[in-house]
Amino acid sequence: MYRQRSEPGHLSSAFLKLPDTLLLVFDREGRLRLVSDAWEEALGFSLAELRQQSFFDLLFEGDRDDCVRRLSGMGPGQLTLRFASRCCRKGGGYLGVVWNLTYDVDEALFYASAHETAVHLSSEEAHLPDVFVDGLTGLPNRSLFLDRLEHTLHRAERRPDTRFAVLHCGIDRFKVINHSLGHRMGDLLLMSVANLIRNTIRPTDMVARLAGDEFGILLEDIRDVSSTLHVVHRIQNKLQLPFTLNGHEVFATVSFGIVASSPEYRQADVMLRDANLAMVGAKEQGGGAYMVFNKDMHDQAVRRLELEMDLRHALERGEFEAYYQPIVDLRQGSLAGFEALVRWNHPVRGLVSPLEFVPVAEETGLIVPLGRWMLYEACRQLQIWRTRLPGAERLSVSVNLSSKQIMHVQLLGHVQEALARSGLPPTALKLEITESALMQDADRAIALLEALKAQGIRILLDDFGTGYSSLSYLHRLPIDTLKVDRSFVRHLHERETDRHFVETIVHLAQRLRQEVVCEGVERPEQAAILKAMGVGYTQGFLYSRPVAAHEAQMLILTGLEPGGA
Ligand code: C2E
Ligand code: MG
Ligand code: MG
């Protein structure tokens, strides 16, 4: 192509006429040498009017000084620059743009392309702090990122061979860093990671701060996903070295979720959502990992959402049912009571395991009404058995409480309500809690347990041995019974270490005057070992699986036959 040396010849005139293509060429004084036609529509000035202005005249005055400063730094040592600013529109109002600048040293000219951001500000809004740039890191923010991504998607629609990728990344365990080292250090770490990413990607790619410790990266014009992985590896390699923040060395790892462009993606937020899903998956691998989004992840997320929706109606539709698993008094060889375990009779899926829906119910807060229902249902059922069946008056029932319930201000009220409505004496009710639920706010939890105990209700520590709490802490907790997790029982008959573990717990419990229940007893040998160790109570498939109320009633009437279940 013929090029005139005296003219800024890198741009052909056809290029200047393309719709939506905002290009400018200007010299170091800001004098405009070329203006593409699209500016007319974008700013409302005619081309003739535009050509009379300088580059700096186009900018909103609040952004001018910053821009002059940035441009003055460009030269042989810095040939490219990207930044956000606002341009004045004719008749008032402003247009937000991101500039991609390249400096041509030979010609001493700036070649600027601008991505328009959809936000058209009124004059008043323009006086607000920069709405596109994150104040802490100086990176573009989420709305600017989405906007640029929207542009990229539009471009890809016109040019289907365009390939790009979106990365959603988050600093692993950032909250811990923030809490343990302080917010100032947290901020420094965010700035350092922001810089590291910015310096690792190409100037034409974009990194933005999406929220908190999360960043978005848009990689344009990539060959395939493997070029994306190169970027991930480069960032991860750099993170092998610690950051020095205020004289402290801090290591950080980052998890990445990756989405590659595909014709199915038409919306920026959908693409970012999928990248986020993949990042959550990467985080579950323990940090410092990446995951490429695939359809399974999407399906899983949809299933989870459906589950959540169904769960919202399950209570009012009466789809929950309490199952009962016997707890056996090892010394007497008799039935001591039941653990109430919730079951969900899903209209389409059948019986759904609590392992699947209890965590969802906890996250959505539905566990509070569900738990309240279980409390009442278990108390009601046991009271019926106690008053109607011979020998049943000494039985007790254990109900599981989740951390959300323990934190709920009305828990005490819900327990009292269940007892009052059912007529069950408080001494027949036990509540199972886990260590992790207690740890969230130990002082509050202890006060609550004291209040429950004062009424005669007994407290069990469920899944004991799987939590993080220190043993020294145990005597502070108003606990009546330790319920040893079934992972310690499973290999009891074949592993000496597990036997030592359970034995130690039995000694500890004796010292603290607590009872021990072992869960997950499946074999007669296990029961025999536990009995010899002095364990008071067991529970497991050896005696019975959790069963519906009418079957539990049969167990009360006929007695237990170990192994017969
Ligand atoms: P968990 O409280 O530790 O309950 C014991 C779990 O172990 C039950 O699973 C029970 O079926 C299972 N299990 C009992 N004996 C054996 C055995 O010998 N072998 C094996 N392999 N498993 C045994 P389930 O009913 O699926 O409940 C799972 C968890 O869901 C419970 O663990 C509890 O954390 C939670 N959950 C169940 N019902 C409720 C509820 O009403 N409220 C709350 N908050 N959580 C509940
Ligand atoms: Mg339990
Ligand atoms: Mg348990």
The CATH number assigned to the domain with range 304-558 reads 3.20.20.450
Q: Is 362 in the pocket of ligand 1 (CB under 6 A)?
A: no
Which residues have their alpha-adjacent CB atom under 5 A from ion ligand 2?
A: 400, 432, 462
Residues of the chain with CATH 3.20.20.450: 304-558
Q: Is 326 in the pocket of ligand 1 (CB under 6 A)?
A: no
Task: Indicate the class that CATH gives domain 2-128.
Answer: alpha beta
CB atoms within 10 A of CB 363: 12
Strand partners, 482: 461, 516
Spatial distance between the Cα atoms of 499 and 370, rounded to a whole number of angstroms: 37
Q: What is the pLDDT along the chain (565 residues), one digit of tens a residue?
A: 333 344 555 566 777 887 778 899 999 999 999 999 999 988 989 999 998 889 999 998 877 887 888 898 888 888 888 777 888 888 777 787 878 888 999 889 999 988 775 455 455 444 444 677 888 888 889 988 998 898 889 888 888 888 999 999 999 999 888 888 888 889 999 999 999 998 898 877 899 999 999 999 999 888 877 888 889 999 999 999 999 888 888 899 999 999 999 988 999 999 999 999 999 999 988 889 999 998 877 787 788 888 888 998 999 999 999 999 999 999 999 999 999 999 999 999 999 999 999 999 998 899 999 999 999 999 999 999 999 999 899 999 999 999 899 988 899 999 999 999 999 999 999 999 998 888 777 888 889 999 999 999 999 999 998 876 556 677 788 999 999 999 999 999 999 999 999 999 999 899 889 999 999 999 999 999 999 999 999 999 999 999 999 999 999 999 876 544 3
Pick the CATH number of 142-293 from 3.40.50.720, 3.90.650.10, 3.30.70.270, 3.30.43.10: 3.30.70.270
Which residue of 341, 398, 484 sits with most ligand 1 atoms within 8 Å of its CB, as the best mutation to test the pocket? 341
User: Which stretches of 328-402 are DSSP H helices?
Assistant: 354-364, 367-388
Query: 95: which 2 tokens?
Result: 């247009």
DSSP-based three-state secondary structure for 323: strand
Flag whether the pTM goes above 0.75: no
Scan for tokens 């908190």, then name that residue: 212
Q: Is 546 in the pocket of ligand 1 (CB under 6 A)?
A: yes
Q: Is 463 in the pocket of ligand 1 (CB under 6 A)?
A: yes
Residues of the chain with CATH 3.30.450.20: 2-128
Residues of the chain with CATH 3.30.70.270: 142-293
Scan for tokens 């006086």, then name that residue: 127
Q: Could you tell me the distance, in angstroms and rounded to a whole number, from the CA of residue 147 to the centre of ligand 2?
A: 49
Scan for tokens 């997320």, then name that residue: 301
Spatial distance between the Cα atoms of 159 and 1, rounded to a whole number of angstroms: 23
